[in-house]
Amino acid sequence: MQEPGGRVRAEVAKGIGIATNNVAEYSAAIEGLERAADLGARSVLLRSDSKLLVEQLAGRWRVKNPTLIRLHQQARALAGAFPGGVSFEHVPRELNRGPDRLANRGVDEWLAGAGKGYRPPPPAPALFDQGRD
């Protein structure tokens, strides 16, 4: 979290386990909004490289996935508590290196701890036998 002058007030790097990218994006937004509230922020600019997250939280895109509906409601409730409001901004991935570094650190810490035994599933079998007529 940065103050308007650019000073970093807090950083969060937290692994959440096995989840979709969209769940991870919402979880990060919720964690950031909670931390901003704890620090006494009156308004927030939430920046993300997830176009889906930004557009859904800004109310321009519908949320259809049941899990994301729950996370969306939680994020909107947190956003509603800031007297000065919350603005949402999409940032291209290449300009989002700091938060990406924190996300990778959270994943690495999870894999070294609670997720130590995690192994990715094998690839799904091919639907059709390739190369045969």
Chain centre to alpha carbon of residue 91: 13
Element spanning 90, H or E: strand 86-90
Q: How far apart are CA 72 and CA 59, in angstroms?
A: 10
> Residue 50 has what pLDDT?
93
Q: Hey, where are the domains in the chain? A: 21-112
Q: What is the pLDDT of residues 32-80, one digit of tens each?
A: 999 999 999 999 999 998 999 999 999 999 999 999 999 999 999 999 9
Domain 21-112: CATH superfamily, name plus number:
Ribonuclease H-like superfamily/Ribonuclease H (3.30.420.10)
Q: What does each C-alpha distance from 2 to 26, 35, 126 come to in angstroms?
A: 19, 11, 47
Query: Half-sphere exposure (CA, 13 Å, Cβ side) for 95?
Result: 8
Q: What is the pLDDT of residues 15-24, one digit of tens each?
A: 788 888 899 9
Query: Half-sphere exposure (CA, 13 Å, Cβ side) for 33?
Result: 26
First to last CA, the chain: 58
Of the pLDDT bands very low, low, confident and very high (cuts 50, 70, 90), residue 90 is very high
